[in-house]
Structures are given as C-alpha cells and as structure tokens.
Amino acid sequence: MSSGPINMPPERPILDDPALLEMLWSDMKQQDALHRAGPYWDGKIRNSHRLIRRFGLAEFRDTAIATSFADAPQIDLTQQLAGTKYGRVLPWILRHTPMYSAVLAVQCRWTKDSVDREEETQAKLFTALGGDWLDAMLHEFPSLPRGSSEGSASRMLWRGEDFSSYYLHMLSYIDSVRKSGLDFEQVETVMEIGGGIGANLHLMLNLFPNIKRAVLVDLPPVAYVAGQYLGKFFGKVLTYRETRGQESIHFTPDQKEPEILVITPWQLPQLRTEIDLAWSSHTFAEMTTDQITFYLREIASRLQSTGELVLISYDDISGGALPVDAVTALASRRFAIEKIAAEEWSWYWSSQLFRGRARNT
C-alpha cells in the first residue's frame, strides 16, 4: 500500500497574480509559431485570458476559463465569445437588453439542466461499472484527493464521499498505465506536455511519494492557471515569475519536498533535467505537426534510457483535431509505442492509451 505523499503543506486558497498573467501573455506575443498556440488553441486561450481578467481564479472551474482544459461545463454561452473581437460588447448587450437577457437566462437554465442530467447519468454509469475499481484504488491509495474545488460541479458521490469526476478519469489513465507494467515507483522526475490545470500531476505526486520532481509545460494563460492551482497543494512550485529569462532552468538541488516547474513552450529548450516519464494527454491532437515534432524531440532528448512516453489521444467527433492514427504515426518516428488497455468504465473523450521508449536514432 502506498504511504501517501510526504511533507505536503496544508492546502491554501488559490491566489490571483494579475501581473504574472500579463507578463506571460505579453511574452507569448513575441514568440514564433512553434511556441505559440496553433489554430485549434488560439481562440480558446484568448477567451480564457479575458475571462481570467474578468473573474479571477477563485471559481475558475465554474466559468468557461477552463472549459477546454479541465472540467468546467459550457453554461453561459456568451462567455465563449469573450476572446473574440465582439467579446466585450456583444455579451454586455445580450445581458443588458431585456429581451435578449431573458432568452439568455432560459438558455443558461436549460443548458445547466442538461449538464446536470449528463452528470447524473455519468455518476450512475460509474456506480455500475467503476465502483469496485474505486474501492480498490482507495484501499491502495488512501490519500487520493477528495472533493473538488474552485467551483467545479463535476463530482461523483461514492460511499458518502465526494470525488472530482475529472480526477477519477485522470486516475483511471494512471492506473491503466500501471497495470500495463509501467513501474511508477521507479519514477523520480515526470514531465507533462499540455498538463492543463495540473490535475494529473497533482494526482501523481499524491499517489507516488517517490516522484519528487514534476515539469508542466503549457501555453499561457493555462500555465498561469496551473501554477496558481498547483501552488494550493504544494509548497514548491516554480512559475514563470521565477524562471522567466533564465538561460538554464533547473530543479533546486537536494530538494526534499516535491518540486514542480511550470514552464511555457518557449522555455522548454532551456530545461536542464533528465526525466523518467513523459506524459501527454489529449494534447498532441490539438497541435500542429511541427509542434508535435518539437515536443517529441525535446522529450526524447531528456528521457533516461529506461524512461517512457505515455501518450493519450482521442478521435475528435466535432472535427478540427488530429485523429489518433496521425498522432501515433508522428510519435512512432521517435518512440516504439504500443497501445495499452484502458479501464472499461472510463469513456472520457473515448481515449486511447499508448506507451513506449525512445528509439535509438
């Protein structure tokens, strides 16, 4: 049985740092296409940036801030316009013109009802298919994070306790990879590309006390959200505030507590550390092929000889993202990846899981 994380400070509220947000945002504008958002993400990050400015982070999982990189449902559709050129004026008009605001109120109520019904159905399905699995997980990992925070309504009730359904899906991936034979107990340093709010790293560091160092690479403003979110749980989170402009980015030597580096795509070439595990979940499919190639090269150059890449991808139903086969074809040029079985209750984005070592090139 895992003993749970050591030296974890008490959880604290999430902090806003508008100056850091703007520093990241304006620096990103100076970067070339490889290190900025591709077409799939450009509008989403603009939207998210505007909404963070408007609402702050206190309830970010209940707004469209994190709709695309965590578990926030899309309820108020005017929030989806925040990053567009009409983003300031149109939502204001819609909210303040009586006829439109009445329509908007009805739309929000109907959408909320339908999201609630979907959550209920998911919870029933989970109870039927995933309950035994969660019991086994709780037996092995008693410190598994409970509850949900920052306004997230996406929850599952199990034996009187609240779990974030987003976290349970992340946990199911970790467990599937573990069952396929990857030994997490041997991992000291993990790097996640496109780690979103950091839920997966929060889980990994919680479940496996041997993981002492983690790197999360993401675009602004997601990297901002992740740094502030992970800062709630871990005492040592180095954000862009600490690493901006550094020619070589390191972990603190001989650090006893877990340490997390949250960096941007353009900082990755400056990262000086070897890694045991690289993780990318629902991320490569939403990048350009040049960006995927960049990340695969950066990962391969840092992976220990026994280290592995875990790749999780999905087949897009709405269009716009790369199909799984295209992602795995690119990954196969550098990594000898194999498909692994996923937990049967986990239907999230109909994900497929792969893992493998770097090829000797």
Q: Write out the residues near ligand SAM by the rule CB under 6 A.
A: 37-38, 41, 68-69, 193-196, 217-219, 222, 265, 281-283, 286-287, 291
Minimum CB distance to ligand SAM, residue 305 (Å): 26
Minimum CB distance to ligand SAM, residue 335 (Å): 18
Of 94 and 206, nearer to ligand SAM (C-beta) is 206
Phi, psi of 354 (to 5 degrees): -140, 155
Rounded Cα distance, 41 and 29, in Å = 14
Minimum CB distance to ligand SAM, residue 308 (Å): 17
Of 243 and 283, nearer to ligand SAM (C-beta) is 283
Of 37 and 303, nearer to ligand SAM (C-beta) is 37
Of 94 and 174, nearer to ligand SAM (C-beta) is 174
Rounded Cα distance, 124 and 232, in Å = 31
Of 40 and 100, nearer to ligand SAM (C-beta) is 40
Nearest residue to 207 (alpha-carbon basis) of 138, 273, 255: 138
Q: 259 Cβ partners below 8 Å, 6+ apart?
A: 212, 213, 214, 234, 236, 237, 238, 251, 252
Minimum CB distance to ligand SAM, residue 160 (Å): 27
Of 218 and 259, nearer to ligand SAM (C-beta) is 218
Tokens matching residue 32: 């070339």
Minimum CB distance to ligand SAM, residue 337 (Å): 18
Where residue 151 falls (left for φ over 0; alpha for ψ -120 to 50; beta otherwise) is left
Nearest residue to 203 (alpha-carbon basis) of 260, 155, 160, 250: 260
Minimum CB distance to ligand SAM, residue 139 (Å): 26
Nearest residue to 196 (alpha-carbon basis) of 279, 296, 112: 279
* Chain Cα centroid distance, residue 279: 11
Of 94 and 199, nearer to ligand SAM (C-beta) is 199
Question: 3-class SS at 207?
Answer: helix
Nearest residue to 193 (alpha-carbon basis) of 313, 17, 83, 99: 313
Of 189 and 283, nearer to ligand SAM (C-beta) is 283
Tokens matching residue 308: 């592995």
Rounded Cα distance, 159 and 127, in Å = 10
Minimum CB distance to ligand SAM, residue 13 (Å): 23
Of 94 and 200, nearer to ligand SAM (C-beta) is 200
**Host H or E run for residue 294:** helix 289-302
Minimum CB distance to ligand SAM, residue 254 (Å): 30
Q: Determine the residue with CB nearest ligand SAM.
A: 194
Rounded Cα distance, 108 and 159, in Å = 31
303-314/335-340 β-pairing = unpaired
Minimum CB distance to ligand SAM, residue 186 (Å): 23
Q: 57 Cβ partners below 8 Å, 6+ apart?
A: 14, 15, 16, 65, 150, 225, 228, 229
